[in-house]
Structure 1
């Protein structure tokens, strides 16, 4: 009688063990460097989101550029009128719509501890990363000027004494190819290395129907990037990490499409076809960048000294058909719709270099009080070329202006943390920054708009500021922390001079931000889930804004008296079952410009009393015949009130491996493209989804997957050109592909 009971009992025990194993599944602790030292994200008194591992890989499937993060993180929007080369970041509604290559942004991008100041540098491809961190709110104490909205941090996977790597190949729609990989390991007892590379290619999927157009197939690109890292570990407290990296991009600039909106609404015109354009201008984009960094550290016992040296350089030229059509009303035939006048231009960086140096010292577990302090130096030299071309006569160059700027800044900073009790911790910091810009602009070839050869026009700005933050964290218990934070940040003065289209340079003074936030971070369900929730409000004094485009395709810098924003952010990650992992993020951002006297030019209003679009703000016709709109009370541009995102991964063992389904969805509510409000230039809400079906085996070392991006093939305008026709640009189309990954 006992003999048959033995195998039954063994089966029951095995089943119980499997059930217990599933029941015990927990989330790994998220380690971040938001405060320049490694900490549990739950203990950091800042609203932040970290993206890593499989989620990061899935979102970037199929050769996506950095814009794949847009809407995938609460309060984060990313868009570009340059395509892959020039991303514009917005956090909590604060950003900069400026398209000039000398633009500054209030969101800083830090790649491997080195600030990427120029917006072109911020488009470096995403590959072989450990983690992406998005820090919301002013980060001026530890990360410096030009961070009043927040910071996006990229951390590459570092070399180690463990040999590992991966290779990934995918093919997809429009003959897309994506190849990336990395390999690293020990070179000796003290040295290790890691080499990473990326190759991406896509054929043009948009047909130019203009018979005499210079290019027929558009929206294609070919991109290569590589990174080599060497790590030296002495074994007695000294480490040195050396990083060299480069990027090469060629292809199509962003396509502008004339008169795609129905007058009086933001609907596409009947018959709109995203696969076709009709343009007579040349369209291309090329970019080369190189950089290097050295991160050194000395463990001195009670303290550790760090030195971070970075160098970046970029050379780029982007040329496009700005009017988005062919011909103009003076040179028929023309279209689509009414082309007020032909416009074709290019902007480039023929000369750029950026050097940065930081020395920082931090304490090593001093008991109840820990601190860090440092010095920072930044030096950027930049030349911007602006060209104009005559599309109606073979695209000959008929205008050339140049901007030159030397930007030097230095700062001294300190930050400390004090354990008031076992449960309550205080943090605070100060940073003094000095920022100086020497700027000059000249017209080297007169433009068709009547701008004569002129200049140079010199401008100098010299600003200093003190940023600070103060926060407190209270541990309600071992799993739940409550925090509150107040912080001040600033953005240094900005200078623009699009002299082909406006007669003199424009300047925006420094802006200052005071931000208040409070939140709760918690591990839930025996660490099978975690959540973060924060509420915030910020007030901006002298906010830097830019009136872009207009009838003369210019960029005019402005300072609004005040702007404000308020809202909340929520993050959740949870194993709903042992086989189902879900993440959910949500944010609400209510922004408003407060300046009763501030007015900007509107679409087509530069050359006549009647705007080309349907402006809903109060307007005024000036004596010079220009129509302006008063923007008091308007939301900030590219600032959606709502952002939601959701991912879900379900896996089930099959054979020697696992079959899985991974889906991700992102929603953002409607946005204003510009400072003024117009029915045509109000972007509709956008929902995009992704899907991944795959099978992995050998403990996840091999994987084959079918993936799709924008699987519903949603068509939306994501930006506009404030010109003399209803011109816009759209989101990426649906993309399907097959991917194979091998880890070793």
Structure 2
């Protein structure tokens, strides 16, 4: 059966599955009520799940009452996932519909929610998933890699959030909230050590201050030795894949009375280590398997590999209680200076093509770096909200954004290591928005919500270069100016005191993007994209609050979807628009406490995405892959990508955690904790090919620990990627089947003290 016939067969099945799930969601409240009744008496004296509160809609609310698909990670689960020295990519697959990948390593994560993201590797790329750290949007993709430490919670909000959040949220928001200062004498120290000399040291303390001031200092130091041996004797870089990553946060809170507070935040990061390690000829031709005998601890590169990053920032969050209203001012400043240089071809033997099965074999040498200078981002938000009791609640405000920088791309002569030339892309991006939102309780069981936002976004781009042969066919400067109204409407109905159902319709918007000219491709520009999303769901506590379910069914359409054609014969990076793309699916989160000592969480999602543009085609890959897409009629070089799934969009995502506690007679505790994440296969690029289809990936962890002295001390042993499943997780499409991989299995021990 060909691809198109398969799609025709699958689509009705997916529609039927979605309809079945929708009916199940609507029927769930009655089931939950019936199931809870007989269990209630038996469970009265047993433990219950804690109430989960979130700030997804800028207020503290019970997660059950928010008409949106939101997942919160906090407490021990966050500590476990973040214990082995990983960067923010540890969240990938730990939340339904969330995928995170990077071709820059620790410095530049790319987020995808419900299959909707951006593969663009340029430093001025925009993404449709917004990362908000302590109420300040982190717009540049380099800013999104700031480490996760001393956090109260991480919230992942799926679907368009174009009303209440400030920048590029058509796919959703990932929200990090730090632990705030207090007058309590408390803090913690956490250290782990494991395979490859991996060390993770983290700590925080509230600093004693007098009067109305309190302060908190938090810090994290992560280290890993260079664990990959470079087998090329004449290579300019020795062993690889090590890093030293340090970050600090200082917060000061002034709170003279209940009607005023000022929270100041200063933070910084320094990273030094390896850039992403590209490995030439590691994919077996005609398959998506690693070549026979592949060893993740060996590499073959003759170029320079290094990465550094220095970031600083701060914010001031002020609140005034003015009787019936609260007024907020949030001022943010961010600056980042990255440099990343790597051997893009990933090899050391040139001029030979497949089918030779030899790692390090590349078609031609390519070595480059990316850096950024003069970066600064300034944001300002003024927000006012109602503070009175009653059925009506509202909020509204004004948001301002200003970011500018110069991104430099430099090419090197591999034989000498000297710079051969550079291209500078200057970008200035300014925007403002006005927004408002209203919540109204029609009855005690039925609530309505609605919001609206107007955004004005401008970009100025200019390119200069040392190359005489810069491709100027489409110009070297660009100016864009976009404006858009976005809105959302939702409703929540309490079927019982423990079960809510909801429905939501929302729109989102991402402004125009521009990629400057290079030697291999002219300047390209993508016009604004717009998304409309429909979602229904249920959130329920049942079995006398020993179980909690949230589930949703969604469907969205993106018009004029911005896509990035990455790679090809000349490794170009070209922006283009697809007429539209569609996505639909189901998401599920379940927590259950079957016995007092055992807590289980299960999450999962089905995401079916499609590019829908019969006129859209691309040339064949440049890395010697096997194309699976059909040739365009009358062409021998271009292949249609109509009907393909979005890149890096797994159809299935699943996760599971289980914690079993064994109390001791002395009141201490032994425990066993396991966590697993799964994602199905993905396309690395816009086209479909055998070699550049990433295999499904399952990564699991196990942790065994002992807690004593009323929870003040903990020691544990852990293993990550317990099955040692090694997969190609990304590729470079313009040379000899070059790819990069996930981390192999690692072990470690951890000690934590709370004081």
Separation of aligned partners in 2, 1:500 and 1:59: 42
The answer to whether residue 631 in structure 2 is matched with residue 614 in structure 1 is no
Match of 2:693 among 666, 678, 682: 682
Report the counterpart of residue 560 of structure 2 in structure 1. 542
Report the counterpart of residue 408 of structure 1 in structure 2. 430
Match of 1:740 among 728, 731, 751: 751
> Cα deviations across residues 627-669 of structure 1 (Å, max 9, x unaligned)?
2221000000000010010000001112441000000001111
Report the counterpart of residue 287 of structure 1 in structure 2. 309
> Cα deviations across residues 346-371 of structure 1 (Å, max 9, x unaligned)?
10112210000000000013411110
Report the counterpart of residue 5 of structure 1 in structure 2. none
Separation of aligned partners in 1, 2:471 and 2:722: 51
Separation of aligned partners in 2, 1:258 and 1:233: 57
Query: Offset at 1:185?
Result: 4.5
RMSD of aligned C-alpha atoms?
2.0
Match of 1:352 among 350, 354, 375: 375
Check the 8 A contact 2:281/2:357 in 1, yes or no.
Answer: no
Work out the number of aligned pairs and report it. 713
Report the counterpart of residue 589 of structure 1 in structure 2. 607
Q: How does 1:62-211 map to 2 (within 5 A)?
A: 62-211=84-233
Check the 8 A contact 1:326/1:335 in 2, yes or no.
Answer: no
Report the counterpart of residue 7 of structure 2 in structure 1. none
Q: Tell me the secondary structure at the aligned position of residue 310 of structure 1.
A: strand
Query: Offset at 1:382?
Result: 1.4
Gap runs ≥5 in structure 1 = 1-18, 605-610
Report the counterpart of residue 633 of structure 1 in structure 2. 643
Q: Tell me the secondary structure at the aligned position of residue 57 of structure 1.
A: helix
Q: Tell me the secondary structure at the aligned position of residue 55 of structure 1.
A: helix
Report the counterpart of residue 438 of structure 1 in structure 2. 460
Check the 8 A contact 1:498/1:554 in 2, yes or no.
Answer: no
Separation of aligned partners in 2, 1:39 and 1:139: 17
The answer to whether residue 654 in structure 2 is matched with residue 644 in structure 1 is yes
Q: How does 1:161-560 map to 2 (within 5 A)?
A: 161-329=183-351, 336=359, 338-391=361-414, 393-446=415-468, 450-451=469-470, 457-502=476-521, 504-560=522-578
Separation of aligned partners in 2, 1:23 and 1:615: 62
Q: Tell me the secondary structure at the aligned position of residue 544 of structure 2.
A: coil
> Cα deviations across residues 481-536 of structure 1 (Å, max 9, x unaligned)?
0000000001111111251332x210010000000000000111111221100000
Check the 8 A contact 2:345/2:362 in 1, yes or no.
Answer: yes
Separation of aligned partners in 1, 2:95 and 2:602: 9
> Cα deviations across residues 427-461 of structure 1 (Å, max 9, x unaligned)?
00000000000110122245xxx547999811000
Match of 2:621 among 603, 619, 637: 603
Question: CA separation of 1:542/1:154 partners in 2, compared to 1, >3 Å: closer, same or farther?
Answer: same
Report the counterpart of residue 684 of structure 2 in structure 1. 673
Separation of aligned partners in 2, 1:36 and 1:536: 23
> Cα deviations across residues 645-698 of structure 1 (Å, max 9, x unaligned)?
000000111244100000000111111000000000111110000011000001
Check the 8 A contact 2:137/2:166 in 1, yes or no.
Answer: no
Check the 8 A contact 1:254/1:320 in 2, yes or no.
Answer: yes
Separation of aligned partners in 1, 2:438 and 2:245: 43
Question: CA separation of 1:454/1:390 partners in 2, compared to 1, >3 Å: closer, same or farther?
Answer: farther
Separation of aligned partners in 1, 2:217 and 2:145: 20
Q: Tell me the secondary structure at the aligned position of residue 164 of structure 2.
A: helix
Question: CA separation of 1:559/1:544 partners in 2, compared to 1, >3 Å: closer, same or farther?
Answer: same
Question: CA separation of 1:21/1:184 partners in 2, compared to 1, >3 Å: closer, same or farther?
Answer: farther
Query: Offset at 1:62?
Result: 1.4
Query: Offset at 1:601?
Result: 2.6
Report the counterpart of residue 698 of structure 1 in structure 2. 709
Query: Offset at 1:340?
Result: 1.7
Report the counterpart of residue 721 of structure 2 in structure 1. 710
Check the 8 A contact 2:68/2:157 in 1, yes or no.
Answer: yes
Q: How does 1:559-570 map to 2 (within 5 A)?
A: 559-570=577-588
TM-score normalised according to structure 1 size: 0.93
